[in-house]
Amino acid sequence: MNKIDPKSDPIYLLTKAVEERDPEAAKKIKDRLNKSEDPSEMRYLEGLLILLGELPGELEDPPDCEDDPDEYWQENDYFEV
């Protein structure tokens, strides 16, 4: 298992900024969030924003789509009991 180097890991540094109530933390997190393509990292960053009292982004409050394939069984009574 690799140890995290606090001086070079951006996620660790952002988490530490939230813990220390850095006034620039929200801006830094949003900048990182805009550059990220990793869904896990994006969810974590949005969680940090929530801890700071910011409004949740699209990952925390996804829109409900009528033709959502994940909800197909619910919408079409596929698994009737």
The 10s digit of each residue's pLDDT in 13-38 is: 999 999 999 999 999 999 999 899 99
50, 60 contact by CB (below 8 A) = yes
The b/e string for 11-32 (b: 16+ C-beta within 10 A; e otherwise) is eeebbebbeeeeeebbebbeeb
Single-letter amino acid code for the residue at 72 = Y
Between 76 and 40, whose confidence is greater? 40
* pLDDT at residue 41 greater than cutoff 80: yes
* pLDDT at residue 74 greater than cutoff 70: no
